[in-house]
Amino acid sequence: MTDTIAIELETLERMLDIYCSRVHARPGRCGDCDELLLYAAGRLAKCPHHPKPACKKCPTHCFSPEMREKIRVVMRHAGPRMPLRHPLLTLRYYIR
């Protein structure tokens, strides 16, 4: 797994933690959020682009439309909270 994909997965994992704890009112992640993370990990591992672009700028959309929408919802909720909860990870993500 490339460094870029590892950072992307770690970022998504933290975003899912934030989303699930606030929206699903659970400590940690629920089954649905774990399933979304596993789906994303599988898709990212098979990414044909090196270096990997940001998913929204990628010419090949490897997520199904339903899963892409779920990821968008998580990112819309957790994105603004990431700099406060995980400042170094957020900075590392934006630098790449």
pLDDT tens track for 45-63: 888 877 777 777 778 888 8
Query: Could you tell me the CA-to-CA distances from 41 to 11, 34, 44, 84 in Å, in that order?
Result: 12, 10, 5, 25
- Range(s) of the domain holding residue 82: 3-95
Looking at per-residue pLDDT, the higher value among 23 and 94 belongs to 23
Q: Where are the alpha helices (H) located in the chain, listed in sequence order?
A: 3-23, 31-45, 65-78, 82-85, 87-95
Give the predicted TM-score (pTM) of the model: 0.85
What's the pLDDT band for 96 if we cut at 50, 70, 90? low
Q: Tell me the CA distances in angstroms from 90 to 23, 30, 54, 62, 80, one per residue in order.
A: 21, 23, 14, 24, 10
Tokens representing 76 are: 């819309």
Total domains in the chain come to 1
pLDDT of residue 47: 83
The whole-number pLDDT of residue 35 equals 96
